[in-house]
Structure 1
Amino acid sequence: MSVIHNEFVVKNPRLLIVAIALGVILNPLNTTMITVALPAIQNEFLLTSGDISWLIASYFIVSAVFLPLIGKLSDFYGRRKIFLCGLILVSISSLLAPLSPNMLFLVGMRTIQAIGTSALYPAGIGMVRAYISKNQNRVIATLAVFATTSAAFGPTISGLLIQYGGWPIIFYVNFPVIIMSAILALKYIPKDIKNDEKTYKWDIIGIILFGSLMSCWMVFLQSLERGFNIWTFILSIMITLIFYYYEKKRTEPFINVGFLTKNLNVSFIYVQYILATIVFFSMLLFMPTYLQNVLMLDSKTAGIMMLSISVFAMMMTPIATRWIESIGFRTPLIFGAIVGIAGVGLLLTFNNTSSLVWLFMILAIIGISNGVLSIGSQNLLYSIVMKEQSGIASGLLMTSRFIGNILASSLYGVMFASGINDVNKNSMTSVLLIVSVIMIPGIVFITKSKALIGKQ
């Protein structure tokens, strides 16, 4: 099988997709692998929960800024080139991060890692659209599933390895993936065509405003543990409005807010995806620390416990896909939301004297919910947007995931400011329960169209 694009012939599209998929998993994998390492990092550098939340959130803020930016750069300067540069940056950060003498150096390496991994998804999606013509949307959706699944397995992988090599080993895990992706990319991804007709118009102000609004909201959310800071809140609102109206007038905006305002159903899907991500990533973020600091489990056992979320989420992905193809989106998505409410609610029944088997079952229920909601939301998105909009839609989907991650890390910093214990765990769970309930009316609204309720 071969796919012709311009002068090039892709002789093995499957291996090209594998090369891209290996690169795509690096961002979500590194997003969640660090969660099991947080107690060790916190102890080594004497960090507070607020410091830890900034260590996590800084990665997401950088990723959220650079994902759309590098996506546009790859369109102009070559996707293969940008993809390989991303792999190089991840290699540098993965080599030096384990040598970090302090928190600041580790944050710096994580920032380089975030920039590198942010190059891989948009460049990869661009190459799929350029070189793969058969089942293109399915391939894009599959890459998104790869990203979600690797995020779910991150805590388990790191938990098993930290037991033997300490927290630095989570960075060395990247090298086999990087090497395989680079070899396949060099061999099977066609060289970029030099484009002298187009030049990239940098939206510097848009980039600065977007990064500023992300940081301001993070500062505001982090300050909630000390009370409501009205001035930080007002500043965050003002920067958000300035960003919106500035980008709306741009012909080539950094974030296409016009696309969102003109496609309200798509915007609601992104909101739903943010809410689902808050619940999912909050569990991945605080549960490993709870297991190690409260239940006194070692990192290996904590990683195995977290396996329940990832395995059941992965198992539900193909089941939910076939279910959606059979009866449509509404029933599966509502089912996923209700199961999520049940799983999060049951977490309130668990404490440090409960059985680990019971916790494993609760996490499995939450994993089932995430598997349905994740693949359902992604497939729903690609069923609404036109083929030519798949690039911007997929990029904004990843940005939505990072916004959800940032909100989850902020929630973690606020809820566990006084430490990890059952009381704070229940407070965190109560907030996640509210988020889960809010998803129900959103799902009903998005799937109200007959075209989305009936058979797909």
Structure 2
Amino acid sequence: MNTRNRWLMISVGLGMLLNPLNSSMVSVAIPRLQNAFQLDFTVVSWIIFSFYIASAISNPVVGKASDLFGRKKIFLIGLVVAFVSSLLAPLSPNFGWLIVFRIVQSIGTSMMISVGMAIIRIHITEKQATALSVLTIFQSGAAAIGPFIGGILIHWWDWPAIFFVNIPFVVVSFLFCWKTIPKDEKPSSFVRGMSFRKWLDLIDASGILLFTVGLIALLVGLLSVKSSGHVSFMNVIVGLIGLIALGAFVRHELQAKSPFIPLRTFAKYPALTWVNVQFMVVNILFYALFFGIPSYLQTVRHVSEFHTGILMLSLGLCSLIASPLAGRWIDKSGPRSVLLVSAILMTLGSVWIVTLNQTSPVISVCLALAAFGISNGLNSVGMQAALFKSSPKEIIGVASGLFSTSRNLGAILSSLLISIVMGGSFSFRGFRELGIILTIIALSLVLMSWKRRESGELQEQTNSRSQGLDK
């Protein structure tokens, strides 16, 4: 790989790490934000919801926009958006404005995630697999050390520091990308003559609107029931609006020519459907622990942000160590055994959470974090391998988009689960209840992985027999 390609890879990687870094640093900031804005846990959870909802919506839209208007242009715009949001978020006069800037930040960083991989695939032709693996390390490394960095920054400078820390990364990435990313080709006459209405049809604006309204209304309805302590008529109405909008979204997507989420693909490829369902369940488990443990340590056990970040480092380090080992394992025996072991580790980690009591050593949470960290490393490679194995080559782009959506939905559902269980404040009793629920979900994941393993082995035996008969 020549020097120019190395600098291109570093430049793009610095921009792409901002999304996982910002989604992970906030896990340590939630208790401090509760105190700063005098809000309960349910309301502060929207700092998580807003980021993943915006990311789920913007990823496919930005992907289409980059194909039409140029990848370098979209990447640089994403850096500018991330810079502005990181600069203004700490100046928010109230929590509502902080959510607005958090959404803007998610859109900006998602623009780089969506376009970065495409830039590398197009402009680096030699040792392309190595280049893509390096970008994966940028992202997984940022997610792994995010809570540690967030803990240090909040401990010494308070919560605004987790936004200001983005600025040097953005500036350096922008300067490098301006020089290293080749110029975009001029848009075709079709793009130049495209009307605004055609552009809205292309990105499926109606589908995006229905999905956004439905998801937010349903979340508001469910969360308000828990935080208010009773079911009011307004809670029911808001929840029903959400369900109706999501139902209309499903109907619209099945009929749309260019759907926001191509639901017909799920019906056509059942194996792909199961991979996405399993990936969503995996992320419900992972993010429930990822966001739950820091609040438990700080709110219930009164551990400082600094020490919380250090303890959370065990999760990230185990994940980074397990990922390359998973790759070798999958090359030898395929993804099924890896995913089964991962599900078992998540079950053991969830059971360990249930066994903790209020006098247990704080460091004992590292066992649960290590189990989930190893399983995350196995899943990050295993689920990707399962995706490629179950996806026909002609729809691999669509399959990758659906895969990313499944991750975001899993993160959203995990935050919803924590908020419903905890209500207004984080407690030891709620944390134990969360552990019980996670154990049940993890056991269902073990069963799902085992059945898929058995069905896969039967399919392989059938294929080998048919091949023998042919001979």
CA distance in 2, matches of 1:236, 1:140: 39
Distance 1:445 1:339, change over 3 A: same
1:210 paired with 2:211, answer yes
For residue 218 of structure 1, report the CA deviation from its aligned partner: 1.5
Q: Which deviates more, 351-360 or 322-331?
A: 351-360
1:127 paired with 2:119, answer yes
Contact 2:342 2:379 in 1 (8 A): yes
Contact 1:155 1:303 in 2 (8 A): yes
1:184 paired with 2:173, answer no
Alpha-carbon displacement from aligned partner over 1:246-292 (angstroms, at most 9, x marks no partner): 12222222222222322222221111111111111111212112111
SS of the residue 1:409 aligns to: helix
For residue 232 of structure 1, report the CA deviation from its aligned partner: 4.9
Q: Which of 281, 284, 309 is equivalent to 2:287? A: 281
For residue 149 of structure 1, report the CA deviation from its aligned partner: 3.9
Q: Map 1:18-167; keep pairs closer than 5 Å.
A: 18-134=10-126, 140=132, 143-144=135-136, 146-167=138-159
Q: Which of 438, 446, 449 is equivalent to 2:456? A: 449
Q: Which deviates more, 218-227 or 117-126?
A: 218-227
1:428 paired with 2:434, answer yes
CA distance in 1, matches of 2:264, 2:6: 35
Question: 1:7 maps to what in 2?
Answer: none
Contact 1:330 1:452 in 2 (8 A): no
Distance 1:233 1:268, change over 3 A: farther
Runs of 4+ in 1 over 6 A off after TM superposition: 451-454
- Two-structure CA RMSD over aligned residues (Å): 2.4
What percentage of aligned pairs have identical amino acids?
A: 35
1:312 paired with 2:318, answer yes
SS of the residue 1:198 aligns to: helix
1:356 paired with 2:345, answer no
More helix by share: 2
Q: Map 1:215-226; keep pairs closer than 5 Å.
A: 215-225=216-226, 226=229
For residue 170 of structure 1, report the CA deviation from its aligned partner: 0.7
CA distance in 2, matches of 1:32, 1:426: 23
CA distance in 2, matches of 1:221, 1:147: 32
Contact 1:324 1:376 in 2 (8 A): yes
SS of the residue 2:190 aligns to: coil
Question: 1:267 maps to what in 2?
Answer: 273
For residue 145 of structure 1, report the CA deviation from its aligned partner: 5.7
For residue 16 of structure 1, report the CA deviation from its aligned partner: 2.3
Contact 1:292 1:302 in 2 (8 A): yes
Distance 1:318 1:451, change over 3 A: farther
Contact 2:301 2:362 in 1 (8 A): no
Contact 2:42 2:424 in 1 (8 A): no
Distance 1:390 1:189, change over 3 A: farther
CA distance in 1, matches of 2:165, 2:388: 32
Contact 2:323 2:378 in 1 (8 A): yes
Structure 2 gap ranges (5+): 192-198, 462-471
Alpha-carbon displacement from aligned partner over 1:228-249 (angstroms, at most 9, x marks no partner): 7665554434322321221222
What amino acid is aligned across from residue 449 of structure 1 in structure 2? G
Alpha-carbon displacement from aligned partner over 1:287-306 (angstroms, at most 9, x marks no partner): 11211121111110011011
For residue 442 of structure 1, report the CA deviation from its aligned partner: 2.8
Distance 1:61 1:272, change over 3 A: same
What amino acid is aligned across from residue 456 of structure 2 in structure 1? S
Question: 2:387 maps to what in 1?
Answer: 381
For residue 45 of structure 1, report the CA deviation from its aligned partner: 0.7
Contact 1:265 1:446 in 2 (8 A): no
Contact 1:278 1:405 in 2 (8 A): yes
Alpha-carbon displacement from aligned partner over 1:122-160 (angstroms, at most 9, x marks no partner): 111322332344565675566456434422321111002
CA distance in 2, matches of 1:152, 1:435: 23
Question: 2:248 maps to what in 1?
Answer: 242
Structure 1 gap ranges (5+): 3-10
Alpha-carbon displacement from aligned partner over 1:178-231 (angstroms, at most 9, x marks no partner): 233223322221111112243343422111112122213322432452467665
What amino acid is aligned across from residue 73 of structure 1 in structure 2? A
CA distance in 2, matches of 1:15, 1:391: 26
Q: Which deviates more, 432-441 or 322-331?
A: 432-441
Q: Which deviates more, 392-401 or 44-53?
A: 392-401
Q: Which deviates more, 264-273 or 70-79?
A: 264-273
What amino acid is aligned across from residue 293 of structure 2 in structure 1? M
TM-score (norm 1): 0.91
CA distance in 2, matches of 1:79, 1:60: 23
Contact 1:82 1:119 in 2 (8 A): yes
1:410 paired with 2:416, answer yes
SS of the residue 1:449 aligns to: helix
CA distance in 1, matches of 2:243, 2:298: 38
SS of the residue 2:159 aligns to: coil
Contact 1:83 1:120 in 2 (8 A): yes
How many residues were matched structurally? 446
